[in-house]
Every structure is written in structure tokens, then in C-alpha cells.
Chains A and B, each alone.
Chain A
Amino acid sequence: GAGVSQSPRYKVAKRGQDVALRCDPISGHVSLFWYQQALGQGPEFLTYFQNEAQLDKSGLPSDRFFAERPEGSVSTLKIQRTQQEDSAVYLCASSLGQGTGELFFGEGSRLTVL
């Protein structure tokens, strides 16, 4: 596709529900990142994939958060038993090569947990 695509754009969940957020990166991009952005703050790193390998998951806040990229393309961020503090915008970004060159971001998925 032309850019990084994320779905859903908006998700409202009741506390305790599981949610899944999808990211479709730019075709051919090797690296994929997930960030969490709270209102009025900068993006906070969650996890990083190089192709299908999850090389860094140090930013995942708890074991309720799980990400995968099984075929090295589309990625899914899953949050189990959502809590109110999980409310945020979840941003996906991809880049062409390894390492930290220019990142291309999607529009984000805004999660609201009631």
C-alpha cells in the first residue's frame, strides 16, 4: 500500500475485554515498531520487529501485552484484560532497513477503556 495502515482507528472496550490492533506496514519494510502515546505526551516505545523476529519487547508494560508478526509483514498488538490505564493511541511505524532511519507512521489506533 501507499502507507502504513492501522485498524481499527477507534476502539472502545470495557475493562477486562481483550483487544487486537492491526498494523499493515509499507510493503517490503523490514522493521516494524509499536509505540504507545498518551494524551499530550510523546510516543513511548513498546516493541520492535525485524522481519518476523521480535528483537526488542522491553517497552511492553505488562504480560497482558503481546505482539506478533508471524510472516514478517502484518503485525498485531494484543492487549488482554484491558485496564483503564491502557487507554491511549497505539502507533505503528515501519522502516525500510534495519536500524533507526526514517520511520513511517500509521494514523494510530485510539483505544478507550471504560
Chain B
Amino acid sequence: SQQGEEDPQALSIQEGENATMNCSYKTSINNLQWYRQNSGRGLVHLILIRSNEREKHSGRLRVTLDTSKKSSSLLITASRAADTASYFCATDPQGGSEKLVFGKGTKLTVNP
């Protein structure tokens, strides 16, 4: 079963625009992570935000976490064609065994 749900399922934007993806989850968490997957490749870790953090930045990435709403957002600023990929949120549920639970992903297309 998958705990996270990303929204939207697919997003198409022009180069230079910002892309925002949302993730909702069901149970309390220790941390939330975002991963990127290019077509036919493995997942690459982007950023981790802990349950006691509200916002985190890494380069052109900005992640927010609202534990009261059980939701997170990933913002990619000044998007590039190379950002085209699927993006997944993954949660580390509290009280569970040590595993990440992934959502279904948002497929982002950045048009040049």
C-alpha cells in the first residue's frame, strides 16, 4: 500500500516557469523525502525534511512540510528541460519498521 499521494499526477510547464508538486500522507511521520526518477532509471534523492522542520531549501528546490495537514510541497524554481522526470515523495512512518513508503509520483514535463 502507498501512504503518499502526489498531486498533480502530471504537470507540463515551459522552461523558466516554477513547478509545484504536492504530497499528502496518512500517518504521523519521522521524516519526508523527495526523489526524482528519470525514465528507465533509478531514483535519486533530492531532499529530506524532518517532522520538526517546516521548510528546507536546496539550490532551486524548496520543500515545505505541514504536519497538521499531513502534507508537503516541492517547488522547483526557474525550471529547465533537464528537470523533466517523475518526482516522488516518500515518508518514514512513526512506529513502523525502517522503510520508506512512496507515493505514486508526479510526472513533470518541462518544455524548452
Contacts and interface: CB of A to CB of B under 8 A. Distances in A.
A4 B42 contact: yes
Interface stretch (A14-22, A80-88, A95-103): A95-103
B100 A100 contact: yes
Contacts of A41: 104-105
B42, B45, B102, most chain A CB atoms within 10 A: B42
A35 B103 CA distance: 13
Interface in B28-84: 30-31, 33, 35, 41-45, 48
Nearest to A108: B42
Contacts, number: 66
B99 A44 contact: no
Contact of B98 (A55, A91, A106): A55
A44 B101 CA distance: 7
Contacts of B97: 48, 55-56, 58
A40 B2 CA distance: 14
A100 to B, nearest CB: 4
Given A102-B33, A102-B48, A45 B100 contact: yes
A33 interface: yes
B88 interface: yes
A106 B40 CA distance: 11
Contacts of B99: 33, 45, 48, 56, 59, 100
A43 to B, nearest CB: 5
Given A42-B105, A48-B98, A93-B43, 6 more contacts: A33-B100, A42-B2, A44-B102, A99-B92, A100-B99, A100-B100
25 contacts: A4-B42, A33-B100, A35-B102, A40-B104, A42-B88, A42-B102, A42-B103, A42-B104, A43-B88, A44-B102, A48-B97, A48-B99, A55-B98, A56-B97, A100-B31, A100-B92, A101-B48, A102-B33, A103-B35, A103-B100, A105-B42, A105-B43, A105-B44, A106-B42, A107-B41
Interface of A: 4, 31, 33, 35, 40-45, 48, 50, 55-56, 58-59, 91, 93, 98-108
